[in-house]
Chains A and B, each alone.
Chain A
């Protein structure tokens, strides 16, 4: 299978990441003696909602502008950080423990996404000029 459009290609990679999260969560939950964690079960939502959805929408809407490499790098890193952070929080919850350093995943993840979106919006305005 060959996907020529960069936006579809990105969406496809995010779909694979979502499926990996679903599979990982299902296997982990299976061996967790009925101790559950929403962070583990729904970790796939980050790559699906913030990865697959926007890139498919960009493709379908015929949006021609591809975000800059800096914007994409920060955005992808943000989603990866949130997905891993969600799985890690799930692991801790299922084990019945906590660790304050897990907050770093959420701060860095949302921070990266915020900066990348800001960079994207600034790029739109500056290029128009």
Chain B
């Protein structure tokens, strides 16, 4: 009797259509909507407003494009290259502790997202860019501010490691464990890529792209010039005003600014640069509306 059900034409067709549709709906919700929090970052780990206020000295100097105090100096410059607006933050810090990362909603988990500007505001960031969007992948190291959250390796994944002294190192997850990186003093691991510049030389080919992308796009990248001197780079794209950059164009541009090591972060609609309380680029997913996309994490300069 039970077995006969499988032999009925329409009953089985209706049953299986409902089953397949339900499963597909669940897969979509599980991938894009259902939120799971695996760990929360405690407020005291991020510093209090009082301590930040006291650290910012009376030498604070802010303008539309610059910020400087006793520990941090930032200058924003807008370039026009490859029919694209590119925003560069030239950053000097007195210690690598001011180069930080933060999770959306200060939580590590699945489908936890928030706009770059919102994460930046809640972490008192002076300058921020979107990070590696760890939440879109099930593998790849997640190591933020000296805490290891995910150690599942993706063999060929190229990561940027920011060490305690502020230096950058490019590694492959297949070659070293997340535990070993932590033991060796890694403060941050960014798992997106690829590396754009190493030892001052461009290391992407003209045809190389992220995943399955094959066109110019909005981009986000981070680079180190020399000791505690960094570049945060974001380009517009997908609009009539700005075409966007290929990885090779991005690498050539950053190399021309004197970068020693540069690394590509999540781009496209995620690309956002926040400075002194405002988003300064034109983030867009579809090229028509200028709107920030919610992301998993940011890289920022702040106390």
Chain A residues proximal to chain B, CB less than 8 Å: 31, 33-37, 68-70, 72-74, 76-77, 80-81, 84, 88, 92-102, 104
Contact = CB atoms under 8 A, between A and B. Distances in A.
A88 B27 contact: yes
Nearest to A101: B27
A78 B241 CA distance: 48
Contacts of A76: 13
Given A68-B7, A93-B212, A102 B27 contact: yes
B211 A99 contact: no
A73 B137 contact: no
A73 B212 contact: no
A97 B215 contact: no
Contacts of B149: none
Contact of B7 (A70, A94, A100): A70
Interface string B20-60: 10011011101110000000000000000000000000000
B12 A73 contact: yes
A81 B20 contact: yes
Interface residues of B, number: 33
Contacts of A88: 24, 27-28
A35 B7 CA distance: 42
Contact of B31 (A74, A80, A84, A92): A92
B79 interface: no
A108 B23 CA distance: 12
B214 A95 contact: no
Contacts of B136: 95-98
A99 B27 contact: yes
B213 interface: yes
24 contacts: A31-B286, A33-B268, A35-B211, A35-B213, A35-B214, A35-B215, A69-B7, A69-B9, A72-B9, A73-B6, A74-B6, A80-B16, A81-B20, A84-B24, A88-B28, A92-B31, A94-B212, A96-B133, A96-B210, A96-B211, A98-B137, A98-B139, A99-B27, A101-B30
A99 B8 contact: no
Instruction: Identify which of A31, A76, A77, A81 gathers the most chain B CB atoms within 10 Å of its CB.
Output: A77
A29 B12 CA distance: 33
Contacts of A97: 31-32, 136-137
